[in-house]
């Protein structure tokens, strides 16, 4: 199995102690963090935005993966790039001009991702697959941390990998996001996911942040 990234989602962190908590996860080996931006329209919740991303960028050299759960991301892409995003993911469901948005993200010097809700098929991504760096298969309905993992989505992960093989695309990340922890991380990786986002199970798990992160990593080495 190729190298798998375990990316803590800061949505589940204590925002009053964000820098410390990110450092703790980094101490356990994390080098990629997932940043959830919610607009109260595309998803029924609000979260964080540019100021928090800027503050995080100022205290961390880790890779910052920004997941935009917003209706109209186009006018904000440059602001997120300037605030320190390394990768910007937009939702397929809200982007009729995916080609323009993806090329804009790349022009800004970021990697580009496209997210699919659990009910969105991956087939519509075929045209764009060669131009994107990451497909995010949501394993919960976006909007909240701490929800239950939807196992059927792993079939979609495998379908994205098959599409990648058919199209002879060398490099593509497939990310899963929502409800990931020790009980299913290995299964998600076996289906073809190489970026596993984990919020509650890292920042609100049974042990310290270091212990939780290490336990999920260790679970990846166990046979399914």
| HSE, side-chain direction, 13 A CA sphere, residue 192 | 21
155 given a catalytic annotation: no
Per-residue binding string, ligand DX5, 74-113, x by CB under 6 A, is ----------------------------------------
- The DSSP annotation for 110-178 comes to -EEEEEE-TTS-GGGGTTTGGG-SEEEEESS-TT-SSPPP-TTHHHHHHHHHHHHHHTT----EEEEES
Residue 91: CB atoms within 10 A of its CB come to 24
Residue closer to Zn ion, measured from CB, 63 or 170: 63
Stretch that binds ligand DX5, among 22-30, 55-63, 105-113, 142-150 (CB under 6 A): 142-150
49 binds ligand DX5 (CB under 6 A): no
Which option in Zn ion, ligand DX5, none does residue 63 bind, with CB closer than 5 to 8 A by kind?
none
What is the C-alpha separation between 80 and 59, in angstroms, rounded?
Answer: 17
36 given a catalytic annotation: yes
* Residue of 26, 32, 64, 67 that binds ligand DX5 (CB under 6 A): 67
Stretch that binds ligand DX5, among 77-85, 95-103, 116-124, 171-179 (CB under 6 A): 171-179
What is the C-alpha separation between 142 and 57, in angstroms, rounded?
Answer: 24
Pull the structure tokens for residue 50. 């540019």
* Residue of 39, 65, 101, 177 that binds Zn ion (CB under 5 A): 177
* Residue of 13, 28, 68, 197 that binds ligand DX5 (CB under 6 A): 197
Given 101, 133, 177, 194, the catalytic residue: 177
Q: Which secondary structure element, helix H or strand E, spans residue 7, and what is its range?
A: strand 5-8
- Which residues form the catalytic set? 36, 177
């Amino acid at each position: 199995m190729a190298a798998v990234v375990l990316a803590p989602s800061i949505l589940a962190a204590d925002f009053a102690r964000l820098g410390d908590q990110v450092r703790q996860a980094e101490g356990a080996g994390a080098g990629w963090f997932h940043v959830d931006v919610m607009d109260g329209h595309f998803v029924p919740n609000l979260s964080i935005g540019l100021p928090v991303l800027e503050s995080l960028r100022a205290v961390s050299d880790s890779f910052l993966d920004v997941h935009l759960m917003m209706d109209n991301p186009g006018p904000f892409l440059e602001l997120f790039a300037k605030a320190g995003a390394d990768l910007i993911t937009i939702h397929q469901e809200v982007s009729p001009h995916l080609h323009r948005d993806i090329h804009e993200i790349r022009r800004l010097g970021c990697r580009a991702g496209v997210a699919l809700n659990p009910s969105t098929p991956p087939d519509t991504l075929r045209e764009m697959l060669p131009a994107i760096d990451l497909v995010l298969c949501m394993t919960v309905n976006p909007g909240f941390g701490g929800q239950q993992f939807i196992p059927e989505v792993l079939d979609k992960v495998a379908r994205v990998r098959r599409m990648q093989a058919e199209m002879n695309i060398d490099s593509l990340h497939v990310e899963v996001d929502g409800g990931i922890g020790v009980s299913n991380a290995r299964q998600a990786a076996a289906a073809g996911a190489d970026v596993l986002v984990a919020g509650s199970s890292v920042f609100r798990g049974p042990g310290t942040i270091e212990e939780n992160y290490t336990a999920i990593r260790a679970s990846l080495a166990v046979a399914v």
